[in-house]
């Protein structure tokens, strides 16, 4: 169609600007790091289900999945809860952080997670560990996750999938891991999570 076609209305500049802005967002996905944990029910199946649900999210692609770790429950009386399976996934997404958190909550609900006690047992926990280099102290979504830097069950699998990673404002994952140690975090080489196709 030629630009002189009299049936074509000119597109207002404001619309062109909006479409261009949306295109930039779509072609400019952001990196984020998600921690998954489960210590109730079929832990491996639930972790895989959460990964598949993340991949099924419009505007989100799972780029890497860590090995599975069996980990001692952190933050509670030793022996008071079953061990966790933990993993970390790297994603690229055009969703803003708030929508990513919402999606994480929806996945937790789909796996019938109940919230009755702090750090209580759960079928699935979906934590946003980091979103690009965003730093925010908003209690609804604190970035990076306020306890990620002290949790070996996050740092060990994160280091596997991105050995050069940094926790914004805290230092390198490798350095933090050297300080925290790997106690209570055991790789399960007999198990595997699939990267969705
Ligand atoms: N980075 C984050 N990732 C996930 N939730 C967050 C984050 N920052 C703040 N929150 C808020 O924390 C609230 C409680 O989250 P949740 O019940 O998963 O905590 P928890 O897993 O028991 O403990 P922890 O936060 O120590 O992992 C969520 O409703 C959410 O709004
Ligand atoms: N090992 C382990 N401990 C935890 C975990 C977890 O995923 N793994 N999650 C918690 C709350 O987010 C509290 N404690």
DSSP string, 48-109: HHHHHHHHTSTTEEEEEEPPPEEEPPSSS-TTSSPPEEEEEEEEEESS-HHHHHHHHHHHHH
Confidence (pLDDT) at 111 = 87
What is the C-alpha separation between 40 and 19, in angstroms, rounded? Answer: 45
Number of structural domains found in the chain:
1
CATH number at residue 108: 3.30.70.560
Q: Residue 167 domain-assigned?
A: yes
What is the C-alpha separation between 80 and 118, in angstroms, rounded? Answer: 13
Reduced DSSP (H G I as helix, E B as strand, rest coil) percent helix, strand, coil of the chain, to 5? 30, 20, 45
Q: Residue 3 domain-assigned?
A: no
Mean pLDDT, rounded, for 94-113: 93
Q: Residue 76 domain-assigned?
A: yes
Reply yes or no on whether 125 is catalytic. yes
Catalytic residue among 31, 61, 72, 127: 127
Q: What angle do CA 74, 80, 84 make, to 5 degrees?
A: 50
Q: Residue 1 domain-assigned?
A: no
Q: Residue 61 domain-assigned?
A: yes
pLDDT band at 15 (very low <50, low <70, confident <90, very high): confident
Q: Residue 99 domain-assigned?
A: yes
Is the confidence at residue 4, as pLDDT, over 60? no
Could you tell me the distance, in angstroms and rounded to a whole number, from the CA of residue 29 to the centre of ligand 2? 28
Please give the residue range of the domain that contains residue 118: 28-187
Could you tell me the distance, in angstroms and rounded to a whole number, from the CA of residue 68 to the centre of ligand 2? 14
Is the confidence at residue 192, as pLDDT, over 50? yes
Mean pLDDT, rounded, for 44-63: 96
Q: Residue 4 domain-assigned?
A: no
Size of the chain, expressed as the number of residues it contains: 197
Residue 172, Cβ neighbours under 10 Å: how many? 15
Q: Residue 197 domain-assigned?
A: no
């Amino acid at each position: 169609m030629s630009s002189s076609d009299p049936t074509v209305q000119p597109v207002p500049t404001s619309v062109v600007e909006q479409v261009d802005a949306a295109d930039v967002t779509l072609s400019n996905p952001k990196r984020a790091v998600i921690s998954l944990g489960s210590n109730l029910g079929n832990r491996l199946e639930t972790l895989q289900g959460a990964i598949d649900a993340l991949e099924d999210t419009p505007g989100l692609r799972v780029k890497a999945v860590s090995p599975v770790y069996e980990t001692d429950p952190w933050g509670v009386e030793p022996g008071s809860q079953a061990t966790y399976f933990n993993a970390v996934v790297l994603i690229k997404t055009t969703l803003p952080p708030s929508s990513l958190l919402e999606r994480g909550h929806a996945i937790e609900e789909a796996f019938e997670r109940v919230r009755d006690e702090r750090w209580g047992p759960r079928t699935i926990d979906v934590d946003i560990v980091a979103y690009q280099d965003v730093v925010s102290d908003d209690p609804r979504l604190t970035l990076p996750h306020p306890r990620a830097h002290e949790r070996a069950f996050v740092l060990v699998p994160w280091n596997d999938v991105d050995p050069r990673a940094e926790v914004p404002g805290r230092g390198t994952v490798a350095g933090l891991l050297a300080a925290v140690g790997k106690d209570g975090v055991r790789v399960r080489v007999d198990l595997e999570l699939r990267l969705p196709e």
